[in-house]
Amino acid sequence: MLSDYLIAPSLNSLLFTGIIVLFIFIIFIKNFRLFLRLPYYDKLILLSTMSIAIGTHGMVHLGLETNYGFNPYNWF
């Protein structure tokens, strides 16, 4: 049950960062034409920042899977 997992603060932070990464992705897709017109250096900064956010979220998944056996793929 999902309520069993949302007790630990690390799981709550994972949910919160997942929602933020989803919003970033939606905003990126909606403004893709603007992204294409950005200078090369700005594109590099934006993509680097997005990769840091996604990578950090993935590392939190790894830690939760190791410590709590948390694997969202098992929900389906």
Q: What whole-number distance in Å separates Cα of residue 14 and Cα of residue 67?
A: 14
Domain ranges of the chain: 8-68
The arithmetic mean of pLDDT across residues 14-20, rounded, is 84
Q: pLDDT tens-digit profile of 24-34?
A: 889 989 999 99
Whole-prediction pTM value? 0.67
pLDDT score recorded for residue 40: 94
Residue 63: C-alpha distances to residues 7, 10, 20, 73 (Å): 16, 9, 19, 15
| Spatial separation of the C-alpha atoms in residues 12 and 68, rounded to whole Å | 13
Q: In whole numbers, what is the pLDDT of the chain averaged over residues?
A: 82
Q: Which of the pair, 5 or 9, is modelled with greater confidence?
A: 9
